[in-house]
């Protein structure tokens, strides 16, 4: 039986995490990028994932590529580029991260770099995040969205420091949502892009028929599916670092789509409950991709959140 897999298209970069050492401020490098995290998260939960994006040929790029491979993510869709690896300088207010970005190595994948057979054979194509702000990768994502067959998943992951034209990016998000099967965003995304609360944003993005999940941090998430609203609470935790939490939720949702019988519809409330458990566990460890859990780890920490199977 052919392996059902997800293609995750977008950025890979290095987070520089704010911290201290011997009382002095330091920045600790950590692999990251929202789609990078999603691909790793799908693989750690037991699914098959291919990362498609541009990765530098420098030492940090080698580290990014090695992390993908070591975590079981296929990299046959990666384009290597000579530009220095993009850096995301990350500072924290309590456990909440704020990002300042340097470089553009992550946005250099173009439509001519796509493997048509890889895309056509996918069960799910997931795209979004800051790589969409670079014209080559935006064009690549649009080309991927036109591939018939795979279910489409979109996450805007809006970063205010990078948005020179918020209305323009909001229009891009609405464009991709119109062709999506699932849109995942945060309450912060809804506020940044439209000044909307989660319910209004979900209604806006569901107009084309997509299922919409809006994460709300420690409060859980809102699900809009088939014109119905469902609220799910997050597992209560003491958060250490919320970097990558939303990415881990999306990874769990994508993994659930891969395990849904072909042609079937996921049990979205059940799947969201599991995805929020995955997100909560991610927040209990530092460092984004390195904190993404396995299905066994989720089962041990939250035995009440049975790993999703349709």
**pLDDT digit string, tens, across residues 16-49:** 877 778 888 888 888 999 999 999 999 999 999 9
For residues 78 and 52, the answer to whether their CB atoms sit within 8 Å is yes
User: Domain 5-300 maps to which CATH number in 3.20.20.140, 3.30.1330.10, 3.90.1150.10, 3.40.1190.20?
Assistant: 3.40.1190.20
The whole-number pLDDT of residue 160 equals: 81
For residues 85 and 13, the answer to whether their CB atoms sit within 8 Å is yes
pLDDT value at 74 more than 70: yes
For residues 105 and 54, the answer to whether their CB atoms sit within 8 Å is yes
Using CA atoms, how far apart are residues 224 and 204, in angstroms rounded to an integer?
A: 11
pLDDT value at 225 more than 90: yes
The whole-number pLDDT of residue 310 equals: 43
Q: What is the pLDDT of residues 290-299, one digit of tens each?
A: 889 999 999 9
Q: What is the pLDDT of residues 115-145, one digit of tens each?
A: 999 999 999 999 999 999 999 999 999 999 9
Mean pLDDT calculated for residue range 273-294: 90
Percent of the chain exceeding pLDDT 90 equals 75
Domain ranges of the chain: 5-300
The alpha-carbon radius of gyration of the chain (Å, integer) is: 18
């Amino acid at each position: 039986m052919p392996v059902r897999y997800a293609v995750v298209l977008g950025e890979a970069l290095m987070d520089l995490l704010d911290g201290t050492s011997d009382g002095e401020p330091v920045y600790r490098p950590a692999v990251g990028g929202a789609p990078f995290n999603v691909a790793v998260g799908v693989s750690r939960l037991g699914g098959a994932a291919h990362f498609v994006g541009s990765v530098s040929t420098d030492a940090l790029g080698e580290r990014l590529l090695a992390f993908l491979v070591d975590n079981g993510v296929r990299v046959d869709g990666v384009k290597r580029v000579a530009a220095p690896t993009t850096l995301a300088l990350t500072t924290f207010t309590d456990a909440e991260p704020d990002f300042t970005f340097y470089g553009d190595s992550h946005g250099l994948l173009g439509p001519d770099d796509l493997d048509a057979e890889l895309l056509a054979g996918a069960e799910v194509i997931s795209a979004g995040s800051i790589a969409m702000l670079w014209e080559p990768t935006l064009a690549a994502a649009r080309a991927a969205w036109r591939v018939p067959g795979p279910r489409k998943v979109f996450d805007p992951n809006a970063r205010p420091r990078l948005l020179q034209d918020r209305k323009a990016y909001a229009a891009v998000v609405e464009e991709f949502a119109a062709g999506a099967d699932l849109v995942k965003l945060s309450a912060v995304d809804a506020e940044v892009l439209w000044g909307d609360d989660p319910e209004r944003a979900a209604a806006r993005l569901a107009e084309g028929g997509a299922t919409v999940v809006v994460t709300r941090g420690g409060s859980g998430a809102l699900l809009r599916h088939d014109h119905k609203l469902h609220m799910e609470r997050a597992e209560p935790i003491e958060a250490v670092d919320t970097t990558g939490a939303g990415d881990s939720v999306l990874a769990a949702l994508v993994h659930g789509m891969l395990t849904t019988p072909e042609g079937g519809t996921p049990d979205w409330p059940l799947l969201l409950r599991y995805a929020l458990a995955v997100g909560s566990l991610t927040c209990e460890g530092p460092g984004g991709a390195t904190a993404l859990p396995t299905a066994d780890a989720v089962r041990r920490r939250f035995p009440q959140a049975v790993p999703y199977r349709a």
